Amino acid sequence: MTKHLVPVKGYEPNLQRWFDWMDGDHSPEGLAGQLAEDVVFRSPVVHSPQEGKPITLAYLTAAGQTLGGDTFRYTRVFDCGDKAVLEFECEMDGIHVNGVDMIEWNEDGKIRDFKVMVRPLKAIQTVHAAMGAMLAKMKAGA
């Protein structure tokens, strides 16, 4: 099932790998293969940067399970080679979520920086609660 309103072919190789994974099985293994060991994740609700592959993998996996439902769509794409800005929209518990993924790749084509920004305030609160619950569930299952 296609999750994007924008075309998902013809982008720079780094971004194309991201879209191919998004349109594929969303496997943790597939995501882990795209992350640099020293990747930094910047959350819309956690002040300090989350450093390293394990924590970034946990956050992005949780995000995929909470935001990545049937309503998730990338609505605009700015492909700048080793950097990309992807605007997204989805609905969570009746709340419209509008956000941006900012991704930067290293010279090996691995994601080295992933920043998420979300608006409006009600959406941030909804994402925060859902992500907290999902991360706790994932930790309990580990």
CATH architecture of 13-141: Roll (3.10)
Beta carbons of 121 and 91 less than 8 angstroms apart: no
Q: How far apart are CA 37 and CA 40, in angstroms?
A: 9
Q: Where are the domains of the chain?
A: 13-141
The string of pLDDT tens digits covering residues 25-78 is 778 899 999 999 999 999 988 889 999 999 999 889 888 877 767 888 999 999
Q: Would you say residue 9 has pLDDT above 90?
A: no
| Matching residue, tokens 């990747």 | 39
Contacts of 104 (CB under 8 A, 6+ apart): 82, 83, 111, 112, 113, 114
Q: Would you say residue 5 has pLDDT above 60?
A: no
pLDDT more than 90, % of the chain = 51
User: pLDDT averaged over the chain?
Assistant: 87
Query: Which pLDDT score, from 0 to 100, does residue 1 have?
Result: 40
The string of pLDDT tens digits covering residues 62-72 is 888 777 678 88
Beta carbons of 77 and 18 less than 8 angstroms apart: no
